Amino acid sequence: MQTAPTPTQTEWSLTKPARLLSLDAFRGLTVAAMILVNNPGDWGHIYAPLEHAPWHGWTPTDLIFPFFLFIVGVSITFALGGSGSGNGVVSKILKRSVTLFLLGLFLNFFPKFDISTVRIMGVLQRIALVYLVCSLIFLKTTPRQQLYLLATLLVGYCVLLTAIPVPGVGYANLEPETNLAAWIDRIILTPAHVYKPARVWDPEGLLSTLPAIGTGIIGLLAGRWLRSDRSFSKKASWLFTAGCLTLLAGLIWDSSFPINKALWTSSYVLLTGGLAMLSLAVCYWLIDGDAGVASTRRSMAMQFVAFGVNAITVFFLSGLIPRIMNLIKITRADGTETGLQSYLYRSFIAPFFSDPRNASLAGALTFVLIWFGILWWMYRKNVIIKV
């Protein structure tokens, strides 16, 4: 007696799960870049490529978060590819999603713990939601259905933001405080619980999480392709080709629906998804294929794997520890008080640079190197903290 294949078995048949060193290295490189841009020595002096675009447009910094969500999607296919879709699996997905969301909420609470003004959304919260939805999508749908869902999300989001009049404004627009996504954040989250510098909207808000799920779906499709039984060269070349085409589609769509990280516009999803596929394809070719078996290349990749295997841990702690350090007050020679982190930077890094931007970059690199030492030790000792 033959049983009907499950939805996820009907297309792109999967091989036995295997860990991709290139994916771990790509994740680690992304996390290291995230730490770098999130921890400058001086927020007032930063090189332009290490800042987000003010509104429309993009910088290298604007690639980091969507790259991570793309990697989340790819990782789901390796983690859940052979696990079935029973209640036990769904329960684990829900537990992990709730844990990630609560960790993000804790970062927003610390150190004031003021429930009246705490920001509800954030980076870890968005990761939690994208992981939850994309995991369920992977378990319940085929790649073809995922592709249709991706198109629906991106086109639907474009229509919502460009065609639906915003209540109280009277017309559809993409301005920072008067677009539909900002209005929804104010109505549901309320101004007291959004990103404080933005005041009345949140860059990781509710409506813009929908296209962010699209970024995760692109990762699902890429991961599914890499886990298929096709030849290495075909998988690498077609992933690279798909990345080029997706990138081109994002640049074309930019003319009518501008690339914008804060709004997570559909063109931004395609641009960053395309670049993420290109980056993973290159890593895959160099590290996992016959062309990359040289020990030197693998040795270089391992430096970033240390960041990748404890990605959530280092992101959480790299956000928490500077806040703790700045709670420790140091009295300077001029009698003023400053936080410990700021004191160390002003005393041991800034004096050696005439250009404050170089000093700020050196401070960020120092922070990354300190974390590399910690994570490399953890990796060598096989200390992996799973969330």
Enter the pTM of the model: 0.91
Q: Does the residue 6 lie in any domain?
A: no
- In whole angstroms, give the CA distance from residue 202 to residue 121: 8
- Long-range Cβ pairs for the range 57-62 (8 Å, 24+): 57/258, 57/259, 57/260, 58/259, 58/261, 58/268, 58/271, 61/37, 62/261, 62/268, 62/272
Residues 324 and 378 grouped into a single domain: yes
Please say if the pLDDT value at position 296 is more than 90: no
Residues 287 and 304 grouped into a single domain: no
Tokens, residue 168: 């109280």
Q: Does the residue 5 lie in any domain?
A: no
At 304, the pLDDT band (50, 70, 90 cuts) reads confident
| Structural domain ending residue among the three candidates 253, 277, 293 | 293
Residues 252 and 180 grouped into a single domain: yes
Residues 164 and 31 grouped into a single domain: no
pLDDT (0 to 100) of residue 9: 41
Residues 251 and 308 grouped into a single domain: no
Q: Percentage of residues in the chain with pLDDT exceeding 90? A: 74
- In whole angstroms, give the CA distance from residue 297 to residue 8: 34
Residues 315 and 169 grouped into a single domain: no
- Is residue 329 helix, strand or coil? strand
H or E segment to which residue 100 belongs: helix 87-109
pLDDT (0 to 100) of residue 307: 87
1-47 tens-digit pLDDT: 334 444 444 454 554 445 688 899 999 999 999 999 999 999 999 99
Please give the residue range of the domain that contains residue 335: 19-39+298-387
| Structural domain ending residue among the three candidates 293, 320, 343 | 293
Mean pLDDT within 89-99 = 95
pLDDT (0 to 100) of residue 333: 74
At 200, the pLDDT band (50, 70, 90 cuts) reads confident
Residues 262 and 319 grouped into a single domain: no
Residue 140 neighbours by CB under 8 Å, 6+ apart: 7, 8, 85
116-170 tens-digit pLDDT: 999 999 999 999 999 999 999 999 999 999 999 999 999 999 999 999 999 999 9
Average pLDDT, the chain: 90
At 239, the pLDDT band (50, 70, 90 cuts) reads very high
Residues 139 and 265 grouped into a single domain: yes
User: How many domains does the structure of the chain reveal?
Assistant: 2
Q: Does the residue 46 lie in any domain?
A: no
Is the peptide bond between 111 and the residue preceding it cis, with omega within 30 degrees of 0? yes
At 302, the pLDDT band (50, 70, 90 cuts) reads confident
pLDDT (0 to 100) of residue 88: 86
